[in-house]
A and B are shown apart, each in its own frame.
Chain A
Amino acid sequence: MDKEFTPFDEMFMAGGKVRRPYSGYHHWLEDQHTRRLQQKSSEADALFRSVGVTFNVYGNKDADERLIPFDIIPRIISAAEWSKLTRGIEQRIRAINSFLHDIYHRQEIIRAGKLPARLIKGNSAFLPQMIGVTPPGHVYTHIVGTDIIRTDENEFLVLEDNARTPSGVSYMLQNRETMLQMFPDLFSAVSVRPVSDYPKYLRRCLSDCPPAQCEGRPVIGVLTPGIHNSAYFEHAFLADQMGAELVEGQDLRVVDGRIAMRTIRGYVPVDVLYRRVDDDFLDPLNFRPDSLLGVAGILDVYRAGGVTLVNAPGTGIADDKAIYSYIPDIIRFYTGEAPLLGNVPTWRCSEPDHLAYALENLSELVVKEIHGSGGYGMLVGPAASKQELADFRELLSSRPENYIAQPTMCLSTVPILARSGLAPRHVDLRPFVLVSPDRIHISPGGLTRVALKEGSLVVNSSQGGGTKDTWVLED
């Protein structure tokens, strides 16, 4: 096989030697029988079902709730790797927050000629309603889930910034909880940094940015679209763990210039709303008039300092796929530093020479729709049929500005427990980041998504991906 296509395996070197971060775990693993592990694996499934960690697949209304498959082999990151990674993520997120403030105020970066104005002006993720608005504590993206891929021993790259409403943190917590229940002895054999205090940090992060009109200890709510949303479990889970109210649009209304929730004793103001409702659906008066999920007038209350919305409306302009390729420039512009974490090389199909390259090399590229997510509306060139390639060629030619193209990255692999024993599968990593005015907290670990099909590079749960517990080792 071509060297270029031999993926980097995080557990084993060529020849089967175990890499250092995995040595403690591997030592434990050698004493385990595959049969017992498989038994434990089905116990884990039963546990997930009874806790109700399930999700609904969009476009599949009658299907049962599905379980995201959980693989019991952990993904392990050394302390040194983690510290390098977190420094890069912090730098990136500081730059993104500065960028958001700038783009909704003076737009210096455009004046400086570092970013074409058309990328902002004609972009549906840019909210004119946010121009001139400064959110409490100057924080736009309180909660971020940066998608990282690893391609080599020392190469970690950012694939997506997810600065709107990243999901998956409940899986990070539940995966660890499950591992602790299944293999308690394992955690005394290997020193793993805990993640269970995430809800505490989340609560602190939300309380750190009360709105101007808040008096006393902020009242916190999690705004969910409701039980039919695919991430509803997570919304309920986080509200429960934080001791916050879980509210829906129907529970809220504007009362005396505040957002108030209907309790059994009347309306009570909410100060900070961790909203898991997209911008478009947030406020039928200001955005989509047909939305039943939001609160009429909430944006006006927000602008007047009556409520903090987390994340701020309009942050989507920073994780837009059209902006993505400019992030290294954005980091340089706002921090004056060189980016610590790289990007995946990206061709902007809006530019004629990039488009020509993309069309020429389509069968080797991954093509993404600028406003797509979750693995929908995406072409993986090497895995695509002739028909799919032809379809995308047409799409690209007719609306090039809607697409970016990237080389098919060879994601690193970590073994999963397959029927016949360990087998390598491609993974990515989503660390969860909490931003306060004066500090950034990154949970040691995150969500490792794994493509369960041999050779597959698509890790999205909606496309049959699974998850793994992610360990960051103590020093």
Chain B
Amino acid sequence: MVLGRTADGLFWMFRYLERSENTARLIGAGLRIALTRSRSGAEEWSSIISTAGATDAFLARHPGYEFDGVVDFMLRDRTNPSSVMSLIEAARNNARSVRTALTSEVWEATNETWMSLRNALKTPVTHHGLPEVLSLIRQQSAYVRGALHGTMLRNEMFNFARLGTFLERADNTARILDVKYYVLLPSVIHVGAPIDNVQWETILRSVSAKHAYDWLNEGDPDPAGIARFLILDSRMPRSMAFCCKQILENLRYLEADLPDPALSLALAQELTDSLRNRDIKEVLEEGLHDFIQEFISRLGKLGGQIETDYRFHS
């Protein structure tokens, strides 16, 4: 028996955790570009803020896109609901409220994550200290995930945790593409503009896929190849197609005991189908931006439908 409130708590706990990890990864990629080319630093930072959907909130508090301001806003600022600290705190609050649905290992890993990040983020993070903080966030996420996989029963609770993870991850990958789509536009290449390898690399790094991409593809990355990899390649654990497949599987498991067919399952099926057997050239020609926007909007609807189907709220 799973309470609707518990399903809600688990789903969002894992969305928050996934989001905090993604934020750390984005900042890591941004740091790299800022270090290698100081000129495009501000541009890179602004796209990170934009990916997080926090542009207005950021500009209300900071005059421009400087390292200190961006890093502080995205890691420590508690007035920013998508800062890593706010997210970890929200995840831990959810974990407390669904404490009985978690194993003590998952709870303790989450609690310790909160304690160690609160400590690491007590004071502003310097250029020097940033890599260490980012690696702490990565390690802590791996710790919670390891506890989840190693100790939780494979039941509905697990399904809701996974749904939260993959909905958030699909959304994140789509947003990165949405903000950076112009780098991948064929027109840019057609007009013979200088090929921006660093930009492409950043996209891959922000989903931890640089190495995997190089391993699968010889030679320099090309825009269509990167787009295909992040959108359609179901071997790649952060691709939109992979996430959709996982969402679908978890919903199928939940659907098994439901009296009426769930609308959310149908939506997930449609979304998965929309990425199946697609040619990336076609997608690029029809317009990557529109394609991604459409995906993000359908993903949002799917999330809402899951909340309704499984009675998250009274």
Which residues of A approach B to under 8 Å, CB–CB? 49-52, 226-227, 232, 236-237, 239-240, 245-248, 250-251, 253, 261-266, 268
- Say yes or no: is B245 at the interface (Cβ < 8 Å to chain A): no
Given the known inter-chain contacts A49-B115, A50-B112, A253-B314, please indicate yes or no for A264 contacting B100, CB distance below 8 A.
Answer: no
Contact A262 B99 (CB under 8 A): no
Given the known inter-chain contacts A240-B100, A246-B100, please indicate yes or no for A264 contacting B2, CB distance below 8 A.
Answer: yes
Which 6 pairs across A and B sit closest by C-beta, in order of nearness? A236-B99, A264-B310, A240-B100, A262-B4, A246-B100, A227-B96
Contact A266 B96 (CB under 8 A): no
Give the nearest-CB partner of B312 in chain A: A264
Q: Chain B residues near A51: list those with CB within 8 A.
A: 104, 108, 111
Q: Chain A residues near B108: list those with CB within 8 A.
A: 50-52
Please give the distance in Å from A46's CB to the nearest CB on chain B.
10
Which residues of B approach A to under 8 Å, CB–CB? 1-5, 7, 93, 96-97, 99-100, 104, 107-108, 111-112, 115, 156, 254, 257-259, 310-311, 314
Give CA–CA (A232, B96) in the complex, Å: 9
Give CA–CA (A51, B3) in the complex, Å: 24
Contact B93 A227 (CB under 8 A): yes
Q: Chain B residues near A246: list those with CB within 8 A.
A: 99-100
Give CA–CA (A134, B197) in the complex, Å: 79
Give CA–CA (A240, B108) in the complex, Å: 14
Which one of A51, A240, A253, A268 has the greatest number of beta carbons of chain B within 10 Å? A240
| Besides A49-B115, A237-B99, A264-B4, 12 other A-B contacts (C-beta < 8 A) | A50-B108, A51-B111, A239-B100, A245-B100, A250-B314, A262-B4, A263-B2, A263-B311, A264-B254, A265-B258, A265-B259, A266-B259
Q: Chain B residues near A232: list those with CB within 8 A.
A: 96
28 contacts between A and B (CB under 8 A): A49-B115, A50-B112, A51-B108, A51-B111, A52-B108, A227-B93, A227-B96, A227-B97, A239-B100, A240-B99, A245-B100, A246-B100, A250-B5, A250-B314, A251-B5, A251-B314, A262-B314, A263-B3, A263-B4, A263-B311, A264-B2, A264-B3, A264-B4, A264-B310, A265-B257, A265-B258, A265-B259, A268-B1
Give CA–CA (A139, B282) in the complex, Å: 73
Which one of B3, B97, B104, B112 has the greatest number of beta carbons of chain A within 10 Å? B3
Give CA–CA (A247, B97) in the complex, Å: 10
Contact B3 A251 (CB under 8 A): yes
Give CA–CA (A358, B111) in the complex, Å: 49
Given the known inter-chain contacts A52-B107, A246-B100, please indicate yes or no for A264 contacting B112, CB distance below 8 A.
Answer: no
Give CA–CA (A47, B37) in the complex, Å: 46
Please give the distance in Å from A66's CB to the nearest CB on chain B.
14
Contact A263 B314 (CB under 8 A): no
Give the nearest-CB partner of A238 in chain B: B100
Given the known inter-chain contacts A50-B115, A262-B314, A264-B156, please indicate yes or no for A247 contacting B96, CB distance below 8 A.
Answer: no
Give the nearest-CB partner of B115 in chain A: A49
Give CA–CA (A262, B100) in the complex, Å: 16
Contact A245 B3 (CB under 8 A): yes
Contact B111 A262 (CB under 8 A): no
Please give the distance in Å from A222's CB to the nearest CB on chain B.
9
Q: Chain A residues near B99: list those with CB within 8 A.
A: 236-237, 240, 246
Q: Chain A residues near B100: list those with CB within 8 A.
A: 236, 239-240, 245-246
Given the known inter-chain contacts A263-B311, A264-B156, A265-B257, please indicate yes or no for A52 contacting B111, CB distance below 8 A.
Answer: yes
Give the nearest-CB partner of B92 in chain A: A52
Tell which of B4, B96, B107, B259 touches A251, judged by Cβ atoms closer than 8 Å: B4
Contact B311 A266 (CB under 8 A): yes
Give the nearest-CB partner of B112 in chain A: A50
Tell which of A227, A237, A264 touches B311, judged by Cβ atoms closer than 8 Å: A264
Contact B3 A50 (CB under 8 A): no
Q: Chain B residues near A240: list those with CB within 8 A.
A: 99-100
Please give the distance in Å from B153's CB to the nearest CB on chain A.
13
Please give the distance in Å from A333's CB to the nearest CB on chain B.
42
Give CA–CA (A239, B166) in the complex, Å: 29
Q: Chain A residues near B112: list those with CB within 8 A.
A: 50
Give the nearest-CB partner of A264 in chain B: B310
Give the nearest-CB partner of B7 in chain A: A264
Q: Chain A residues near B310: list those with CB within 8 A.
A: 264
Contact A248 B5 (CB under 8 A): yes
Q: Chain A residues near B104: list those with CB within 8 A.
A: 51
Given the known inter-chain contacts A236-B99, A245-B3, A251-B3, please indicate yes or no for A50 contacting B314, CB distance below 8 A.
Answer: no
Please give the distance in Å from B88's CB to the nearest CB on chain A.
14
Please give the distance in Å from B110's CB to the nearest CB on chain A.
9
Contact B311 A262 (CB under 8 A): yes
Give CA–CA (A50, B4) in the complex, Å: 27
Q: Chain A residues near B259: list those with CB within 8 A.
A: 265-266
Give CA–CA (A261, B2) in the complex, Å: 10
Q: Chain B residues near A227: list those with CB within 8 A.
A: 93, 96-97
Please give the distance in Å from A262's CB to the nearest CB on chain B.
5
Give CA–CA (A239, B99) in the complex, Å: 9
Please give the distance in Å from B108's CB to the nearest CB on chain A.
5
Q: Chain B residues near A262: list those with CB within 8 A.
A: 3-5, 311, 314
Q: Chain A residues near B257: list those with CB within 8 A.
A: 265
Q: Chain A residues near B93: list those with CB within 8 A.
A: 227
Please give the distance in Å from A378's CB to the nearest CB on chain B.
31
Given the known inter-chain contacts A52-B107, A240-B100, please indicate yes or no for A261 contacting B3, CB distance below 8 A.
Answer: yes
Please give the distance in Å from A218's CB to the nearest CB on chain B.
14
